Amino acid sequence: MGVQTSALTNGFTAGTIQPGDFCMKIEAVDLFCGVGGLTCGLRQAGIAVLAGYDIDPACTYPYEENNKASFQLKSVSEVTGEEIAKWYSPGAIRLLAGCAPCQPFSTLANTRDEKDEAKWGLLGEFARLVRELKPELVTMENVPRVTNHAPYRQFLETLRELEYEVDAKRVRCADYGIPQERRRFVLVASRMGPIKLRKPAEGEYRTVRDAIQHLPPLAAGETDRNDRLHKARSLTPINLERIRASKPGGTWEDWPQELRAPCHRAATGASFRSVYARMTWDRPAPTMTTQCFNFGTGRFGHPEQDRAISLREAAILQSFPDDYRFSRPGDKVFFSSVGRMVGNAVPPGPMLPT
């Protein structure tokens, strides 16, 4: 697949920053690292990621096992710029990267109080670390609506006060080779000169077929003998009938009346067309959520097989490598735990700067 990197692993290009000249000298620390999606993409781009910070202990094994970087079980609010500085080698171009938790800025945030520091403060902590460390490069990713809220405006103001060159925009991940219709907001900043995010690639996008057709077939409730993550959730008898009646790209309206749930028959049922639904082979997948393994919570039905997508398929559609490990050998694989890791991750690739 070559060198790849995500929307957030991004635009260290243009002006004085060229990947061919500098990538081997760039060293990064990943804030809010989770399972390591952003770190994985940065490493694929040739950037040395030294450490990741997160408060979820379940991410320790997959982060360190896949990325060979140190996982720090610590809240970003407790970290200082002095501590972060100790990770970098003398003379390195220092990149501070991160994706602050996006829940406060999602569509559910309409009724929330922006003055509530407990809900809004982590992007401010990121800004504090930028101010204390003054790294040469900064990058962040979040939901598109983050730009509507005060914490983002304050973050941007901090960068401008510190004389960073900034480029930021909303992106459709499918335009950058990621096989899903995820929308995100991406920012890159540099104290070394102008910097630009990569332009969307023209031409064909990667599809569900491109990403997962090569995996062995499964039945609902089955686990592949060679990959414990290629595991499909069981379906109740009625949901098995429903998925058999579902067309790729269709809705519950394709079902006979006896299979429709009461919520579908209600006047408001028209707003639920993307649940209990199959993906389409020749389109990008929908956004992978923390419930992407569940047929009833979105368009997460396999395009052809009578089941929801497996955890491995979800991870690949999130652009993780096929062999990315999410649990220790011998440990039981839990749908809820791995689904949360996958759904909350920054897609690793591909979005290499030009």
* Catalytic residue positions, numbered: 102
Does residue 108 sit in helix, strand or coil? helix
User: Length of the chain in residues, anyone?
Assistant: 354
| Sole residue written with tokens 């090569």 | 214
CA distance 192 to 123: 23
Nearest Cα neighbor of 236 from 309, 307, 338 is 307
- Per-position DSSP letters for 282-302, written without gaps between them: TSPBPPP-TTTT-GGGSS-B-
**CA quadruple 12, 16, 20, 23: dihedral positive or negative?**
negative
Q: Is 156 exposed, middle or buried (0-12, 13-18, 19+ CB in 10 A)?
A: middle
Where helices occur in 32-175 by DSSP H, the ranges are: 37-44, 60-67, 81-85, 117-133, 150-161
Whether 348 and 4 have beta carbons less than 8 Å apart is answered as yes
Does residue 43 sit in helix, strand or coil? helix
Nearest Cα neighbor of 134 from 99, 159, 100 is 159
CA distance 204 to 200: 11
Whether 194 and 15 have beta carbons less than 8 Å apart is answered as yes
Structure tokens at 319: 């652009």
